[in-house]
Chain A
Amino acid sequence: MAISVKVIRRPEAARSSYLRAALKGMSLTFRHMVNPRKVTRSYPEEPTELHPRWRGTHRMEVHADGRPKCVACGLCPTVCPANCIRLVGGEDDQGNRYPIVYEIDEFRCIFCGMCQEVCPVEAIHVGQHFENAEYTRERFVYDLDRLMEQEHPVTALWDPSDPASE
C-alpha cells in the first residue's frame, strides 16, 4: 500500500487560530491513535509478494529420474557477465553429456538472468527467492546438488509480445 503525499495550502500564520489548529491536530492524531492505518508489513510472518519476473536464487531443473537437465554445453559460463558459473562437463557411456562440476557463486552473480535465457534445455533458472543468508562466505557458492534441491518458483522470462507483463 503506497502512502500518498497530500499538499496542504497553508493559511497565513499571522491570521490563523492557534487553539483551533492545535485542536485540529489533536483530533487528527486521535483518529490515527484509535484507528492506525496499517502500512507496516510484519515481514517474516507476512512474506513479501514477489513479481513473476523477480530474479533471485538459482535453481537447476531435474529429470524425473533425478538427473540434472543440464547437458554441459558451456553456454551459461560463456554468457555470464559476472563470470560466476564454474562448469566442468563430462560424458557417460551412451555419449550423453552431463555436468561433473556445476557451481554458481551467488555473491558474484548480478542476477541478470542471462544464464536462464541462453540455456538450450531450460535447465538453469533464476528464481523468485531472495532469503539466502548464511554464516560463512563459502556457503554462498552453490554446488550442483544444492541447486537441484531448490524448490522456489522459477522466474518467468520476458515476453516480447507483452513487454510490461500485463
Chain B
Amino acid sequence: MNELSPTAFLIASAVKVLAVFTALMVAIMYATWAERRLSAFIQDRLGPNRVGPFGLLQPIADGLKNIIKEETDPATASRFFFVLGPMLSIMPALVTFAVIPFAAPLPTPWGTVDMIVADLPVGVLYILAISSLGVYGIFLGGWSSNNKYALLGGLRASAQMVSYEVGLGLSLIPVMMLAGNVTLTRMVADQQLGLWYILPLSLGFLLFLISAFAETNRLPFDMPEAESELVTGYHTEYSSMKFSMFFIAEYAHVITASALMATLFLGGWDIPFWAGDNFIPYEGGLISGFTAAGDPIPAQLSIWTTLLTLGAFMLKTTFFVVLYIWVRWTLPRFRYDQVMHLGWKVMLPTALAYVMLVGATILVLDQLGVSGGPGFALALTAVSLVATGMFALYLDRGRIITGAAPAGRAARAVPAAHP
C-alpha cells in the first residue's frame, strides 16, 4: 500500500468530495423518481412516465419547476429562522455520507486512494452526532413559520427524533463491541473476514432498522408530516426551492441511512463468498485474508475490484431504499402515543437488554477460549436469533404463533395482558 503524497491527497479528496456529492444528488433525484414509480405500481397506477423514457427525466423537470416557481414568504414568519431551517435540514443529511466507505481502495499511479471521503477514526460517532442535527432544521422551520400545523409538526419531529436517537445509538453498541472499533472501514474489514453483522446481530439490525425509519421521518413514523392531520407538517408554509430543500433532505437522509445499514450490517462494499475483494489493513499493508497456516495473503488491487465493490455497495443501498419505499406504501401511520410508547417502552429497554446480552455472550465465549472464528460467530448468531424471536413474540403479544383469528370464531386462548 503506497501512501499518497500530500498534494495528491488534497487533489484526490477534492475529486472525491465532488464525485460523492454529485452521485448523492443524482441518487436523491432517482430516489424521488423510484418512490413515485413504485408507489404507483403498488397502487396499480402508472406513475410519472411522460418526461423522457420511463419518466426518467421527471426529477429534472421537477427541479426546474421548483426553481422557477414563485416563492411565498408568510408575513408573520420569523424571516431569519425561516430561511435557516431548510439550510440546516439539508446540510447534515449530505455531510453524513462523508464517512461511509463506498468501494474498495483504488490503485492509481500516485498511490492507493481510499474510496471514502473522510476516513474518520470516529466514524459511527460522527454519524450519530451529525444525523441528530437534522432535527434543528425541521424544528426551526416548523417554529418560525408561525403556523400551528407547522409548529405541531416541528414539535413532533423533535420529540420523535430525540426518542429514537436513543434506540439508534444503543442498537449500534453491539456492533462496536463486535468490531472492537468505531471506524466504518474497520467494520467493513471485520465483516469481510467473518460473517456480515446482520447474522450475529440480527436483533441489533432490527432495532436499527426501526430507529432509522423513525429518524428519517418516513412512514410508518411520519409524525412530523402526517398529511391527514397536519396538512404537511413542518413545511406547510414553505414553497418552491425551500420546500424542495426539505424534500431533498428527506431523501438524502433515506439514502444515507440505507448506505449506513448496508455498511454496518450487510458488509458495506463486500462481495460475499469472494476473497478477491478483501482489503484488510494489516501491519501497514492491505491483505485479502490469511492462509491456513496463519500467514497474511497480500491483496491484489485493481480498478475492476473497485468498480465491482462499488456496484455491490450500490446494490445493497438500493435494496434498503426500495425497502423504505415499499414499507411507506404498505403500512399505515402510527398514532403519536404509539410512537412514543414504542420508542421509550419497547425500543429502549430492548436495546439495553440486547447490549447486555451481546456483552455477556462475548464475555462467556471469551472465558471459554473462543474469541473469533466461525464458532464465535455461530454462537452469537444463535443467541441473537433467539433474542429476535422473543422480541417478535413480545411485540406481537404472543399471537405470532396462533395468527389472526377469523371473525365469529370463539376465542380459543385468552390472550395475555396487553403490553
> Residues of A at under 8 Å CB distance from B?
9-12, 14-22, 25-26, 28-30, 32-34, 36-40, 42
Residue of A nearest to B40 (CB): A36
A70 to B301, CA, bound (A): 87
Cβ contact within 8 Å between B396 and A18:
yes
Of A17, A25, A37, A39, the residue contacting B404 (CB under 8 A) is A17
Cβ contact within 8 Å between B44 and A21:
no
Of B38, B330, B395, B406, the residue contacting A19 (CB under 8 A) is B395
Cβ contact within 8 Å between B400 and A11:
no
Interface size on B, residues (CB 8 A): 28
Task: List which B31-88 residues lie within 8 A (CB) of chain A.
Answer: 38, 40-46
Residues of A near B329 (CB, < 8 A) are 29
Overall SS of chain B's interface: loop
Cβ contact within 8 Å between A10 and B407:
yes
A28 to B42, CA, bound (A): 9
Residue of A nearest to B398 (CB): A17
- Chosen A-B contacts, 8 in total, with CB atoms closer than 8 Å, are A11-B404, A20-B403, A22-B331, A29-B42, A32-B42, A36-B42, A36-B45, A40-B44
Q: How far is the CB of A119 from chain B (nearest CB, A)?
A: 43
Residue of B nearest to A41 (CB): B46
Residues of A near B395 (CB, < 8 A) are 18-19
- A-contact bits for B196-228, CB 8 A (1 contact / 0 none): 000000000000000000000000000000000
Cβ contact within 8 Å between B407 and A32:
no
The answer to the question of B16 belonging to the interface, with a C-beta cut-off of 8 Å to chain A, is no
Q: How far is the CB of B415 from chain A (nearest CB, A)?
A: 6
Q: How far is the CB of B320 from chain A (nearest CB, A)?
A: 15
Cβ contact within 8 Å between B407 and A9:
yes
Cβ contact within 8 Å between B43 and A32:
yes
Cβ contact within 8 Å between A12 and B407:
yes
Residues of B near A15 (CB, < 8 A) are 399, 404-405, 411, 415
